[in-house]
Amino acid sequence: MKRLSAEAFGTFWLVFCGCGTAVLAACVPELGIGYAGVALAFGLAILIMGYAVGHISGGHFNPAVSLGMAMAGRFDYKDVVPYWAAQIIGGTLGGLAIFIIAVGMADFAPGAFASSGFDDLSPGGYSVTTVVAVEVILTAIFVIVFLGATSPKAPARFAPIIIGVALTLIHFVSIPVGNTSVNPARSIAAAIFAETGAMGQVWVFLLAPLVGAALGATLWKSLLGRD
């Protein structure tokens, strides 16, 4: 229960800080947050939770990471679904907290609510094929980074920093494409509250990251892993 609680809390924080920055701060031009600020918010959020509760649960905060860790032999398959449930619950509560705060804003409308999307819901108008490719590639890389940074042979205590920087860079690349998922729990949490039809596209941001996680774990085991 402590491990599941840590995963829920960490995912709550990731969604609350990352999506919250997009919903509450990036829309205010005077703050100058923009895409870069949102990317940094996601990276810093996972870095903080990696140090705060990562030692309790492993600090996945992402269903794709849990799947990748299991496929790489670092995590028990029987714990994957409970972790997914905790992550989705935590992420959804993070989205709810943002919504409760945002409704206090004058003339607030949920709009996209930091949700991921393709075609008309893509920030850059990218097609579903392009968005799928980006999500698969970047999730695979993220899982490889996670596996490498948390390897017993990696420098101790640096994993949250490496993982946080990697997530920031991933957002730099992919926010204009599909508003970045690489995390099904994050995508579900935002789509629930969006008013743009994001829920109808969320399947892409569930399947593509999981495929990417499987690819990343396979590449790690076959080409890179030295655990």
Q: How many Cβ atoms are within 10 Å of 122's Cβ, its own excluded?
A: 19
Looking at every residue in the chain, the average pLDDT score rounds to 93
124-133 contact pairs (CB < 8 A, 24+): 124/176, 124/177, 126/176, 126/177, 126/178, 128/204, 130/177, 131/177, 131/178, 131/204, 131/208, 132/204, 132/208
pLDDT digits 0-9 by tens, 140-194? 999 999 999 999 888 878 999 999 999 999 999 999 999 999 999 999 999 999 9
User: Residue 138: pLDDT band by 50, 70, 90 thresholds?
Assistant: very high
pLDDT digits 0-9 by tens, 76-90? 999 999 999 999 999
Please report the domains of the chain, with CATH numbers, ordered by start residue: 2-224 (1.20.1080.10)
For the chain, give the percent of residues with pLDDT over 90.
81
